[in-house]
Structure 1
Amino acid sequence: MEVHTVSETPPDRPPQSGLVRALKVPRNAVIGIGFGIALAVVAYLARVLELLGPFAGTREYPVLGPEGWFLVLAFVLATSTALLVASVLTVVEIVRLARTVDE
């Protein structure tokens, strides 16, 4: 009967940071965050300062008021846009690296 022991040392694997650096993930995240914040600020100011005209509907905005709710929506817009931009830039980098490997 064979007895298998569990090793306390982790298996040898290449470091994951090399992949993150090769795909330029930190740079893509910074660009995505910048773009997301800029878009959210523009959208927030356009709505709160009524740059595109007054809001046509009459609604109630409980607890936070209209500015508070638009600020929450601006945060959601900023984070989702940042994620989208960073993801697209990373996929573009993956395609670029895949093409250079094939050549």
Structure 2
Amino acid sequence: MVNTPNWTNVTDAGSFLQVANDTTGGWFWVSMLSMISIVLLISMLPFGFEAAVFAAAFAGLMLGMIMSYMGLVGWTWVAMYAGVIVVMILWTMYGRRD
């Protein structure tokens, strides 16, 4: 039997979190975190690729830590954003040798 959400019981933020957690297995929150990072990445592209990736990864890291503390996403998603930040710092340091 498919676990379909019962959105009629949602009356406050706590019940919204409960329904999303019970029915999606955490993928709802992972997709929300990824979509926020992608929107920030696209909106920051006029400032340069490196700045856009760094800003999106930093926002994803901060939001990911909060969401991981709340138990909504796993620490692997937070580690992914931290890894992107480290790679971008190394890319910036060693990529441009003038």
TM-score (norm 2): 0.31
If you compute each CA radius of gyration, which structure gives the higher value, 1 or 2? Answer: 1
Higher RCO by CA contacts (8 Å cutoff, separation 6 or greater): 1
More helix by share: 2
TM-score (norm 1): 0.30
